[in-house]
Each structure stands twice: as C-alpha cells, then as structure tokens.
C-alpha cells in the first residue's frame, strides 16, 4: 500500500457520456463511507482535472498538460469513461495516460455478487484477479498497412535479410510486430506474485500461447517461471518443479510435494494455454486465483471474466506502476451515450474501482463499507436496470436511488 496523509489530494476525471452521473453519485458514496469509517479524521480532497470531450469544449485540448501534471504529482487518481477523439493524432486518451506514466499493470479483480445473474452455474466460485501487461505485445501499435511502401519494405526485409522464405506472404499483407521483453515480463509477474503474497492467495497462473508463439508468449511463460524461482524460491512452488519430480519419481511423489508446499502456505505458480484457460474458467473457475498475462490475451480474458459476474457495468479496474506508485483507477465501461443523462447507468464499476483505490492507499475499512453495502443491495435483488432486468424478482432502481441507499 501507498502511504498517504489523512487528507490526500486525489485528482479525478469525471468522464464523458454517463461519466457525470456515475462520478457525482459515486463520490457521495465514497465520501460517506470514509466519514463513517474514520469518524471525520480522514477525508479525500477531490481535485477535478479535465480530459475528453468536456475538456475539449472548455479549452480546446483533449488531454491538457495540467491534467497529466496532476496525475504525475499526486500519484493516485480516478477516472470515468472518455470519448476518444476522432482524428487529431491521439489514438486513445486512455492509452496516452498509460504511456505517460508507464502504468504497466492493468489490474482487474473479478468477483461475483450474490443476486447478480451469471451465465455460469457456479459464479460463487469466481474469484480472480487479472494482471494484464499494459505496455508491450502486439498492442504496441507497430503496424504497417498493406499497399504502403513501409509494408513492402518490411516484406522485402523479411525475405531478403531475415531469410523468411518458407511462407509466401502475398503483397497484400499488412504486418504487425509483437515485442515482449524480459524486463516487461518480470515487472508484471513480480507484481502478480507480490499481490498473491500480500493477499494470501493460493496461486498465480501464467496465461499464454507459448505453444504457438515460442519466443514471445513462450518467453513470457519461461521468464515468469525464472523470476518466480529466482526471487521467491522459498515462497512459491513452480509447476516445472512438479513436472521434474513427476519425471524422476512419479506422479504420486509430485502430488505429495505439491500438497506439502500448499500446506506450508506456498504460492503455486503454474501456466495454462490461453484457449484452454478460457474454457476452464467456465467449467472450473475455482482453479484460478491470480492471473498474469500479456496485453492481447489480457483483453479477451478481462472481458470474458467480467461477463461471468455481471458485465461491464460492475467490473472495476486500475492501471498501475508499482515501482513509482502511480495508479489510475477507472470505470471499465465506455461512455454509454445511449443511456447518458437518463439516471439509469450502473455506478458499480466506478464505485468498485474506488474501493480498489481505497485499498491501494490502505483505507480498507472505508472500502469494505462500500463493498458490504453493494453486497447487501444485490443480495436483496435491487440493482440498476442493466442487472435488475435479468433478476427473477429484481427491483430496478435509478442511479441516484441505488447510490442513495449505498450511502446510507
Ligand atoms: P464508447 O464508445 O465510449 O466505448 P460504447 O457505447 O461503445 O461507448 P460502452 O459504453 O462500453 O461502449 O457500452 C456498451 C453497452 O453497454 C451500451 O449499450 C451501454 O449503454 C451499456 N453500458 C455500459 N456501461 C454501462 C453501465 N455502467 N451501466 C449500464 N449500462 C452500461
Ligand atoms: Mg465501445
């Protein structure tokens, strides 16, 4: 956790579309919880900073330098959804923020609230935390479009310089580059193992496609295991160890060693191929706890797991650099223009992100009050329309009604 004063300044971006509504409602719930938990001794000084459409309309800039400076200076911030500008050279405001602060972990906890309708049979067994690498992989944006001189040059480079002859790429090919580094892998896996240790969780699973992409996805897996062994040797049981014992002494011995390690409180570090993982999460979700994965896999995995517990209206997230402490907590859904201004949006995603923020600064008591209040409401079948409509005897509440009950 990050040490902060009792009155920390925390910058927030309200966000576009439904941002205004979720922020206004969430803020009152958060402030109430802090007041209750610490009897007025602690209080967040919220500082509004601008980004997105609201910013563009006020000062002509989608992402003012002032906003970046606030996040740099105050370390921790929170944000609603942002409209991505069309044209203007910015790919995405979210990406710009992540790159500027080098927020290398995209953290997505996934848990189920009783009462929320899930597409799977045993949602109570879903309790996972995804560590998605945020800066590398095919997401790095190194791409060349077919028909451009760059794509032609790259094709020539592959064939002439790199000796790639066995596959004939047609001239209509686009190309993308997938960089995966040892450093990038290590800081991500390090963060995942630390999280498992601090929170007493049973395992860290490396999710990858190393069977096909041996040096990138496979590198991620191997370097992850190397790091686990090198830095946490006495605190983890890594799967290659199980395999080694199995090969030398048989499966019974390997299982016995695993059992022993678990009884000593060691964290099991294992790996699974991404496609099998997606199946397994539906069939036996209890097998997984902390997940460490690359950028693209992480994207798919995050959405599937979120859907298993109620979808984007309720899934929180954060982008974090554990080395500098910089962290931006965020609603994971978009601006939802179709329901903006109607007082129907579900504020849970932003609220649970705020709970993550409170935990990050060590204010767990306040976070727990919010989580408990959400648990109670969902348990009673009370929810905003997006979730209430699937409940058998659900009560549909407006955003402000839902938030008012939470704040009480
Ligand atoms: P953007 O372009 O900003 O990504 P979008 O509409 O494409 O916006 P989302 O905002 O993620 O993408 O919305 C997808 C669907 O889910 C929409 O129908 C939206 O109304 C709904 N939705 C998203 N967030 C919520 C929420 N918090 N509560 C209720 N419904 C939501
Ligand atoms: Mg969208």
pLDDT of 140 reads 86
Q: How confident is the model at residue 144 (pLDDT cuts 50, 70, 90)?
A: very high
260-277: average pLDDT: 97
CA 18 / ligand 2 centre spacing (Å)? 13
In the DSSP assignment, the letter for residue 285 is G
pLDDT of 168 reads 72
* Ligand 1 neighbour 25 (Cβ under 6 A): no
Q: Among 48-62, 82-96, 154-168, 295-309, which stretch is predicted with the lowest mean pLDDT?
A: 82-96
The ipTM value here is: 0.93
Residue 37, pLDDT above cutoff 90: yes
Ligand 1 atom closest to the Cα of residue 335 is 3
Mutation test of ligand 1: which of 336, 340, 342, 384 has the most ligand atoms closer than 8 Å to its C-beta? Answer: 336
Helix (H, G, I), strand (E, B) or coil at 104: coil
> Which residues, 6+ apart, have CB-to-CB distance to 167 below 8 Å?
none
Residue 132 annotated as part of some ligand binding site? yes
The alpha carbon of residue 140 and the mean position of all alpha carbons in its chain are separated, in whole angstroms, by: 17
Look at ligand 1, atom 15, and give the residue with the nearest C-alpha: 336
Let me know the angle formed at the C-alpha of 98 by 349 and 310, rounded to the nearest 5 degrees. 20
pLDDT of 89 reads 66
Determine whether 209 is an active site residue. yes
Residue 169 burial (C-beta neighbours within 10 Å; 0-12, 13-18, 19+)? middle
Beta bridge partners of 331: 316
Residue 85 burial (C-beta neighbours within 10 Å; 0-12, 13-18, 19+)? middle
Beta strands in 275-381 (DSSP E): 290-293, 316-320, 327-331
Q: Among 89-103, 167-181, 294-308, which stretch is predicted with the lowest mean pLDDT?
A: 89-103
Determine whether 299 is an active site residue. yes
CA–CA separation, 327 and 66 (whole Å): 17
Residue 164 exposure: Cα atoms within 13 Å on the Cβ side: 10
Let me know the angle formed at the C-alpha of 278 by 277 and 282, rounded to the nearest 5 degrees. 105
132-147: average pLDDT: 93
Residue 42 annotated as part of some ligand binding site? no
* Ligand 1 neighbour 353 (Cβ under 6 A): no
Mutation test of ligand 1: which of 17, 54, 312 has the most ligand atoms closer than 8 Å to its C-beta? Answer: 312
Residue in the structure block whose two tokens are 């992402």: 63
The C-alpha torsion from 404 through 353 and 298 to 314, rounded to 10°, is: -10
- Give the number of whichever ligand sits closest to the CA of residue 331: 1
What does each C-alpha distance from 246 to 202, 222, 256, 268 come to in angstroms? 21, 19, 10, 16
Residue 166, pLDDT above cutoff 80: no
Residue 91, pLDDT above cutoff 80: no
Q: How confident is the model at residue 94 (pLDDT cuts 50, 70, 90)?
A: confident
At 268, list the tokens. 């099991």
Determine whether 323 is an active site residue. no
Q: Tens of pLDDT along 198-255?
A: 999 999 999 999 999 999 999 999 999 999 999 999 999 999 999 999 999 999 999 9
Pairing of strands 236-238, 267-273: parallel
8 A C-beta contact, residue 327 and residue 107: no
Q: Tens of pLDDT along 320-362?
A: 999 999 999 999 999 999 999 999 999 999 999 999 999 999 9
Mean pLDDT of the residues in the chain:
95
pLDDT of 171 reads 85
pLDDT of 83 reads 87
Residues near ion ligand 2 (Cβ under 5 Å): 334
Residue 76, pLDDT above cutoff 80: yes
pLDDT of 170 reads 86
- Phi, psi values for residue 267, rounded to 5°: -90, 130
CA–CA separation, 347 and 360 (whole Å): 20
Residue 371 annotated as part of some ligand binding site? no
pLDDT of 92 reads 81
CA 113 / ligand 1 centre spacing (Å)? 20
The Cβ of residue 212 has, within 10 Å, a number of other Cβ atoms equal to 12
């Amino acid at each position: 956790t990050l040490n902060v004063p009792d009155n920390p300044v925390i910058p927030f971006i309200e966000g576009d579309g439904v941002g205004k509504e979720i922020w206004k409602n969430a803020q009152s719930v958060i402030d109430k919880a802090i007041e209750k938990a610490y009897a007025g001794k602690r209080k967040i000084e919220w500082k509004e900073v601008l980004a997105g459409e609201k910013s563009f309309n006020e000062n002509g800039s989608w992402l003012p330098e002032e906003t970046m400076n606030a996040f740099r200076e105050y370390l921790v911030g929170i944000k609603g959804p942002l409209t991505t500008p069309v044209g203007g050279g910015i790919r995405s405001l979210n990406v710009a923020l992540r790159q500027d602060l080098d927020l290398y972990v995209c953290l997505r906890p996934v848990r189920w609230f009783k009462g929320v309708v899930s597409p799977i049979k045993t949602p109570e067994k879903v309790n996972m935390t995804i560590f998605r690498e945020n800066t590398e992989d095919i997401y790095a944006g190194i791409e060349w479009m077919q028909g451009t001189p760059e794509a032609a040059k790259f094709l020539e480079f592959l064939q002439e310089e790199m000796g790639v002859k066995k596959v004939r790429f047609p001239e209509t090919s686009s190309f993308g580059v997938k960089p995966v580094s040892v450093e990038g892998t290590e800081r991500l896996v390090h963060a995942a193992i630390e999280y498992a240790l601090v929170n007493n969780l049973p395992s860290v699973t490396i999710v990858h496609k190393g069977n096909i992409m041996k040096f990138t996805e496979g590198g991620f897996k191997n370097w992850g295991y190397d790091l686990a062994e090198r830095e946490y040797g006495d605190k983890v049981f890594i799967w290659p160890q199980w395999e080694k014992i199995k090969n030398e002494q048989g499966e019974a011995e390997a299982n016995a060693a695993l059992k022993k390690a678990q009884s000593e409180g060691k964290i099991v570090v294992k790996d699974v191929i991404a496609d099998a993982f997606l199946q397994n999460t539906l069939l036996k979700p209890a097998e997984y706890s902390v997940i460490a994965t690359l950028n693209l896999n992480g994207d798919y995995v995050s959405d599937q797991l979120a859907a298993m517990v109620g979808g984007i209206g309720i899934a929180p997230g954060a982008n974090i650099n554990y080395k500098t402490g910089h962290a931006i907590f965020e609603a994971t859904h978009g601006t939802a223009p179709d329901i903006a201004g109607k007082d129907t949006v579900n504020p849970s995603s932003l609220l649970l992100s705020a709970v993550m923020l409170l935990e990050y600064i060590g204010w767990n008591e306040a976070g727990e009050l919010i989580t408990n209040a959400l648990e109670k409401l969902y348990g009673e079948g009370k929810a905003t329309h997006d979730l209430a409509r699937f409940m058998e005897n659900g009560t549909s509440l407006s955003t402000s009604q839902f938030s008012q009950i939470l704040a009480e």
